Structure 1
């Protein structure tokens, strides 16, 4: 689980880094806090023998209908960031599953 969370967080931080709104120290803090929150969120929803089970719960999603992912927002608030300053794509989905992390964004 930790490897998959790390891969997802690195991807998300690279997207956020493109906004140029944060320095490296701030991004490291965000990375740490987001990782902690995702571990807590996925803790009872991680099934290596059944990777599809709990997949929807482990999905990080941002779109026009739901422009804020609650976990990303909590990490941003914990770091003193405005969510809007993350400058995430309008459409972003990251699936974090046992042995696989994939995304779709536009």
Structure 2
């Protein structure tokens, strides 16, 4: 139930650098953030570094982990799952993070567990020694959007609910889970 999701998630881990692992990136230039776009890329403006989206990625990974039924899993498996999610989501956000246009790239940064299981969830499961089918069955059927300044989740057919919001990044209203709670 989306109403039971806690708001104001505060991640507690420090950022780690993540390299690109062949995930698709677009050659669309954008305005660099406070870091000046200091990551390895051929674009003069460069993508935001993992530190730019660390809070959002951490909140999203922690939400997936806390939402997973953990009976029968070891603590080390759960931690490995969360860390692998952070790495995969950071890689997905790399080159697709636009704080001045939070909706831009939103679909690319979404993570889905429904009829299909998102490759990020499969990879995190396998990295933690959990079969991806077992992990998918332990996770809620939903879509999660990781956008600059907010992380939102929509459970099945319910309205999207914000699970993390940063007051430092403006968010734009949208029908895909990045705007207001009433869709």
Matches within 5 A, 1:1-106: 1-16=53-68, 18-64=69-115, 66=116, 68-86=117-135, 87-89=138-140, 91-106=141-156
In the alignment, the residues of structure 1 paired with residue 72 and residue 101 of structure 2 have an alpha-carbon distance, to the nearest angstrom, of 39
Instruction: Please provide the CA RMSD for this pair.
Output: 1.2
Pick 1 or 2: higher relative contact order, CA cutoff 8 A, min separation 6.
1
**TM-superposition CA deviations, 1:11-45 (whole Å, max 9, x none):** 100111x2413122111111111101111111010
Structure 1 pair 92–21 and aligned structure 2 pair: CA distance change class (3 A): farther
Q: Which runs of 5+ in 2 are unaligned?
A: 1-52, 157-183
Whether the aligned pair in 1 keeps the contact of 2:78 and 2:128 (CA below 8 Å) is no
In the alignment, the residues of structure 2 paired with residue 79 and residue 40 of structure 1 have an alpha-carbon distance, to the nearest angstrom, of 18
Instruction: Report how many aligned residue pairs link the two structures.
Output: 102
Whether the aligned pair in 1 keeps the contact of 2:57 and 2:90 (CA below 8 Å) is yes
Structure whose alpha-carbon radius of gyration is higher: 2
Runs of 4+ in 1 over 3 A off after TM superposition: none
Higher-helix-fraction structure: 1
In the alignment, the residues of structure 2 paired with residue 11 and residue 52 of structure 1 have an alpha-carbon distance, to the nearest angstrom, of 21
In the alignment, the residues of structure 2 paired with residue 26 and residue 78 of structure 1 have an alpha-carbon distance, to the nearest angstrom, of 9
TM-score (norm 2): 0.53
Higher-strand-fraction structure: 1
Q: Which runs of 5+ in 1 are unaligned?
A: none
